[in-house]
Structure 1
Amino acid sequence: MTSIAIIGAGPGLGAAVARRFGREGFDVALIARDHERTNALAAELGREGVTARGFAADVRDPKALAAALDAANATLGPVEVLQYSPIPQRDFMLPVLETTHADLTGPVEFSVYGPVVAVQQVLPGMRALGRGTVLFVNGGTAAVPHPDRAGTSIAFAAESAYGHLLHDALGGEGIHVAQLIVPGAIVAGHHRKDPAVLADTLWGIHQERHGFRHFADDLDS
């Protein structure tokens, strides 16, 4: 049995993706800072017939993130699908002329160091399986930088570049790397940005294995 590891798992998109992939037979590793929250979500999923476990890690703590992924692998089996989708902190989104070099430390740790740690941790297992999928989920500033959200604009651009490089480097090994950009907020009931709809989109990206960048909705939405 293989698993999906959802980094930044919460009650919205993370829970929806857990249900969608769980229905397809994946065990689910839920990784977030709040262990009580991930354990509660795992219990809720368990009552619905999805095998899930919660693991605590802050994506800005490389050792903790690596340890959580190791524990997920040991508990649930090899990570075949990795989703990196934590929600950025509000203080990452300062106007560009008010953003100092120190203000970029958090965004870069969050959107660059975290993904690199996560991918490096699961890549050996994917290679052993001969298959895998890495899904990066980002906001609209990953595609169009916004002057009032400098931290995410800069760090998401770096995360996008890393993901695209991985897409090109790993495709020949049966490992598909893709990015889903969700402009604006995730909105319950929205025809394209409802969590369950986005989960279906991510499942389709995993299945179809075509192209790097995908858009959940128009950028001006």
Structure 2
Amino acid sequence: MTTIAIIGAGSGLGLSVARRFAREGFSVALLARNRARVDELAATLATEGFTAEGFVANVRDRESLRGALEAAAERLGPIEVVQYSPLPAKEFMRPVLETVADDLVGPVEFSIYGPATVVHQVVPGMRALKSGSILFVNGASAVRPRGAVTGTSIAFAGESAYAELLHEALAPENVHVGQLIIPRGIGGGEPSHEPEVLADKLWRMHSERGEFRVYAASLD
């Protein structure tokens, strides 16, 4: 059995993705900073007959992130799929003229250093499997920067560029890198934005290995 590692796991999209992949035979590693949250999610999945375990990790702490992914692979099986979807902090979203250099440190650690740490931890295992997917989940500011959320706009742009470069570099090794853009947030009454619908879209990104960037809905 191989594993999907969901980084930034929560009770919305993370849980829906966990169920979707678990139904396809994956074990599930749930990574987040809050121990109680990931343990509760894992217990919920276990009651439904799925194999899941929670791991504590902070994406801005490289050692904790590497350690959690290593432990997940040892306990649950090789990591074949990663979903990188932690929720950005509110302080990352300052207006552009109020944003100073120090305000960008957190967003860059979160959206660039974190993904780079994850990639270099999991790609050797994916190469051994000769298969894998690394799936990034972002809001619209990743492709359409907004001055009201400067930190995330800048950092998500860097994350997008890194992910697209990975898409090109890893495709010949049967490792798919994709990005799902979710305009206007998850839920909110739009059927295309419901967690179960988005989870199915992420499953298809992994299983069909199409284009790099997929949109949950039109940006407009």
**TM-score, scaled relative to structure 2:** 0.99
Output the amino acid matched with 1:68: A
How far does residue 36 in structure 1 lie from its aligned partner after superposition?
1.0
In structure 2, the partner of 1:35 is 35
- What is the rounded CA distance, in whole Å, between the counterparts of 2:24 and 2:189 in structure 1? 23
SS of the residue aligned with 2:177? Answer: strand
Give the count of matched residue pairs: 220
- What is the rounded CA distance, in whole Å, between the counterparts of 1:78 and 1:119 in structure 2? 14
In structure 2, the partner of 1:195 is 195
In structure 2, the partner of 1:118 is 118
In structure 1, the partner of 2:76 is 76
How far does residue 190 in structure 1 lie from its aligned partner after superposition?
2.7
Query: Deviation digits for residues 3-61 of structure 1, max 9, x if unmatched?
Result: 00000000000000000000000000000000111011100000011110000011000
How far does residue 140 in structure 1 lie from its aligned partner after superposition?
0.4
Output the amino acid matched with 1:181: I
Give 1:64-213 correspondences, 5 Å limit: 64-187=64-187, 190-213=190-213
How far does residue 210 in structure 1 lie from its aligned partner after superposition?
0.8
In structure 2, the partner of 1:53 is 53
CA RMSD of aligned residues (A): 0.7
Output the amino acid matched with 1:107: P
> Contact between 1:188 and 1:195, CA under 8 Å: does it hold in 2?
no
- What is the rounded CA distance, in whole Å, between the counterparts of 1:98 and 1:208 in structure 2? 43
- What is the rounded CA distance, in whole Å, between the counterparts of 1:111 and 1:94 in structure 2? 16
Unaligned runs of 5+ in 1: none
- What is the rounded CA distance, in whole Å, between the counterparts of 1:219 and 1:186 in structure 2? 14
How far does residue 188 in structure 1 lie from its aligned partner after superposition?
6.0
Output the amino acid matched with 2:204: G
How far does residue 186 in structure 1 lie from its aligned partner after superposition?
0.4
- Compared CA separation, residues 21 and 189, structure 1 to 2 (3 A): farther
- What is the rounded CA distance, in whole Å, between the counterparts of 1:190 and 1:160 in structure 2? 25
Matched, 1:9 2:13: no
Unaligned runs of 5+ in 2: none
Range moving further from structure 2, 199-208 or 183-192: 183-192
- What is the rounded CA distance, in whole Å, between the counterparts of 2:15 and 2:135 in structure 1? 15
- What is the rounded CA distance, in whole Å, between the counterparts of 1:170 and 1:32 in structure 2? 26
Runs of 4+ displaced beyond 6 Å: none
Output the amino acid matched with 1:124: P
How far does residue 218 in structure 1 lie from its aligned partner after superposition?
1.2
In structure 2, the partner of 1:20 is 20
**TM-score, scaled relative to structure 1:** 0.98
SS of the residue aligned with 1:159? Answer: helix
How far does residue 197 in structure 1 lie from its aligned partner after superposition?
0.4
Output the amino acid matched with 1:83: Q
- What is the rounded CA distance, in whole Å, between the counterparts of 2:70 and 2:197 in structure 1? 30
How far does residue 184 in structure 1 lie from its aligned partner after superposition?
1.3
Query: Deviation digits for residues 200-219 of structure 1, max 9, x if unmatched?
Result: 00001111101101100111
- What is the rounded CA distance, in whole Å, between the counterparts of 1:219 and 1:87 in structure 2? 20
What percent of counterpart residues are identical?
60
